[in-house]
Structure 1
Amino acid sequence: MYVKKSGLLVIAALLLAGINMRGQKSVTEFLEMGVDDAKIMSEAYLRPYGEMLGKSLNGGWYNSAGVHKIGGFDVTFGINMAMVPAAGKNFDVSALNFNTNLQAEDPNLTIAPTIAGEMPMSLRPRMELEGEYLLTMPNGTGFDKLPAPMAQVAVGLPFHSEVSVRFMPSTSLGDAGKVNLYGFGIKHSIKEYIPFLKRMPFIRTSVMLGYTNMGSEIGVDYGDGANQSLDISSSAFTSRLLVGVNIPFLAVYTGMGYGSTNSDFALKGDYGPEVGTDPFTLGYATNGFDFNAGLRLRFGFIALHGDYTFGDYSMVSAGIGINFR
């Protein structure tokens, strides 16, 4: 693997986040490490963004524990902001299984920043390899949050249910390539099955399932190869039990459940004899339970909402929309 590709992975991740690309050039220094070691280092360096990308897709599915009446709907525009925990801002270089003999310049200082952290360090080979070299690890961006804009429509169905849809057709972002997104969710009220809750008009309880898939394709220009691109794909699934209170102008809600995510950064195409075809894929997966709490304020048909998710990657979600019935 030619490390410049890892630099392109960094660029793509940052483009998706819409943030400053500081550190973009430094990561190309991984080239000095060779194909296999550059992949190992890149995977550790990019991990927080790879994991946050999936996490951010699981947010913003609901702004109430209730469901719409038949024909009721809402159109919501919002943003999910996932945040890196302290443990995701650095990694121990000495714990990586490099194929060549590399170590920190100072053996007592082996903690390096991920792309979400900040703290430069240097590496050197344990044995001289045709002229000893010193590799300075790229510093991180210091940006430990990943914003993901989201738009969706929810419509009330019979049998105390509603369906939600997210969709963005393949859209060109100029030099940033193309991006597309789709998702669907379903929410079903369970209050009707619990006798004592049926007599409490303001209480809302429901179960919810949601799936989101995002893809991005960025053109790559390297050497004498052909059909080169960087493909980023991420999918996220969440299941929730929702409990809340609805009054005419205010909804307070909580949700707890299990979610899983998968994100891949893959180089596709022919990169010449040194690199080969479809050089590598970096894969990141997360799963586990989390919990969120939030509220929605209604002013006529206009609704504002915000909530906070507690988990390995915490997240703030906020949005505005039109809400009817």
Structure 2
Amino acid sequence: MKKIRFILFIAFIASAHALFGQGQIIDFLKAGQADANTLSQAYLLPYGEMLGVNLNSGWYNSAKVHKVGGFDFTITASYTTAPNSKKSFDPQKLPLTVLEQNTPGMAPTMAGSDKESMGFHFKDDPFKETVLNVEGANADFFVSPMIQAAVGLPFHTEIMGRFMPKTTYGDFGKAGLWGLGVKHEIKEYIPFVKRVPFLEASVLAAYTDFTADLSVDEPGVGAGKLETSAGAFTSRLLLGVNVPVVSFYTGLGYGTTTSNFDLKGTFNAGDEGELTDPVALEYKTDGFDFNAGMRIRLGIFSIHGDYSIGEYAVITGGVGINFR
């Protein structure tokens, strides 16, 4: 369990450390706090949204609800990819106060190619000398492992939970996660479905909360931490076919996510002097998505995989122990 918690945190800091701790966002501070936040908001958009989408993934691998006392323990991993529309942004649409792009065109987000870049200069500089470059980071995907359990209750209901106690990981920082979900069978309310033993129908509602503090240390610039909080809620209609060994499932639902990133500490911003707690970002998403998947069950052991279609595509796979 401890190793899996560590993998979850490493998956998060792998991209966060590259973006906050190795120069790109810190470099934005040269433009002052206002423009640094404006650029960071646009540049990190895929990262903030992919984090929320991942938290809404992996909640189920069947439309069937456990019988009373039935349970499952599942380990999953969700792989989310950013669409092409999130790999660049138009600087001319940003309310920049002191910066101006060197040439017309689109600038890469973190999900853009590392071969793409856009230079910026100060608006009041008659020589238009480049003061910073926005460069892509090829970070167009996000992977997150997840551990969760579910148990069957009376009245055709199942309660689910995911939990990772807030744990410190050496000098990296600390992270924690919890989530609760409820699944209720509605098969009995649908005349045709309730007469077919192998058809399943249920509804699900679930919420996940994630918090993390990541150490950020840029030599010669400053040290601090990146405080991250994210919440994700999903509600879904689940339909499935449950036969021996193999079952199929689909889910149609609506989800909302909110992710916050706050860079805390004092950093040297060059001509701008020192800035304290310079960056505070918030991302929100909402919308419908659809997924379809398959689970293979051998005794109490199972393996599953599914694909979600939405603004951000998600591939989820995992293994588990299931009883009743």
Partner of 1:116: 111
**AA aligned opposite 1:116:** A
Partners of 1:112 and 1:137 within 8 A in 2: no
SS of 2:40's partner is helix
> Are the structure 2 counterparts of residues 17 and 304 from structure 1 closer, same or farther at C-alpha, using a change threshold of 3 Å?
farther
SS of 1:55's partner is helix
Q: Distance in 2 between matches of 1:275 and 1:282?
A: 19
Partners of 1:29 and 1:135 within 8 A in 2: no
Residue 255 (str. 1) matches residue 251 (str. 2): yes
SS of 1:28's partner is helix
Residue 66 of structure 1: which of 64, 67, 72 is its match? 64
Partner of 2:311: 312
SS of 1:138's partner is strand
Partner of 1:95: 93
Deviation string, structure 1 residues 202-257 (Cα, Å, up to 9, x no partner): 0000000010000001245689xx99532100000000000110011111011001
Residue 292 (str. 1) matches residue 291 (str. 2): yes
Residue 169 of structure 1: which of 165, 168, 172 is its match? 165
SS of 2:188's partner is helix
Deviation string, structure 1 residues 178-213 (Cα, Å, up to 9, x no partner): 000000100000011223322100000000001000
Partner of 1:3: none
Partners of 1:81 and 1:317 within 8 A in 2: yes
Alignment map for 1:76-87 (pairs within 5 Å):
76-87=74-85
Partner of 2:40: 42
Partners of 1:27 and 1:137 within 8 A in 2: no
Partner of 2:226: 230
Partner of 1:150: 146
Q: Distance in 1 between matches of 2:16 and 2:47?
A: 14
**How far does residue 32 in structure 1 lie from its aligned partner after superposition?**
2.5
Q: Distance in 1 between matches of 2:218 and 2:117?
A: 28
Residue 127 of structure 1: which of 113, 124, 128 is its match? 124
Deviates more, 1:167-176 or 1:263-272: 263-272
Deviation string, structure 1 residues 104-157 (Cα, Å, up to 9, x no partner): 222xx331110111111212233227x853134232221211001100001111
> Are the structure 2 counterparts of residues 27 and 196 from structure 1 closer, same or farther at C-alpha, using a change threshold of 3 Å?
closer
Partner of 1:138: 134
Q: Distance in 1 between matches of 2:280 and 2:122?
A: 26
Partner of 1:104: 101
Deviation string, structure 1 residues 63-118 (Cα, Å, up to 9, x no partner): 00110111111100010111101000011111111111x32222xx3311101111
**How far does residue 278 in structure 1 lie from its aligned partner after superposition?**
4.2
More strand by proportion, 1 or 2? 2
**AA aligned opposite 2:227:** D
Q: Distance in 2 between matches of 1:70 and 1:179?
A: 33
SS of 2:135's partner is coil
Partner of 2:50: 52
**How far does residue 283 in structure 1 lie from its aligned partner after superposition?**
0.2
Partner of 1:240: 236
**AA aligned opposite 1:89:** K
**How far does residue 173 in structure 1 lie from its aligned partner after superposition?**
1.9
**AA aligned opposite 2:207:** Y
SS of 2:124's partner is coil
Deviation string, structure 1 residues 147-179 (Cα, Å, up to 9, x no partner): 011000011111111111000001112222000
Q: TM-score, normalised by structure 1?
A: 0.87
**AA aligned opposite 2:68:** I
> Are the structure 2 counterparts of residues 276 and 34 from structure 1 closer, same or farther at C-alpha, using a change threshold of 3 Å?
closer
SS of 1:77's partner is strand
Q: Distance in 2 between matches of 1:126 and 1:275?
A: 21
Structure 2 unmatched ranges of 5 or more: 1-8
Partners of 2:216 and 2:226 within 8 A in 1: yes
Partners of 2:160 and 2:182 within 8 A in 1: yes
SS of 2:125's partner is coil
SS of 2:117's partner is coil
Q: TM-score, normalised by structure 2?
A: 0.87
**AA aligned opposite 1:293:** A
Partner of 2:30: 32
**How far does residue 275 in structure 1 lie from its aligned partner after superposition?**
5.1
**AA aligned opposite 1:143:** A
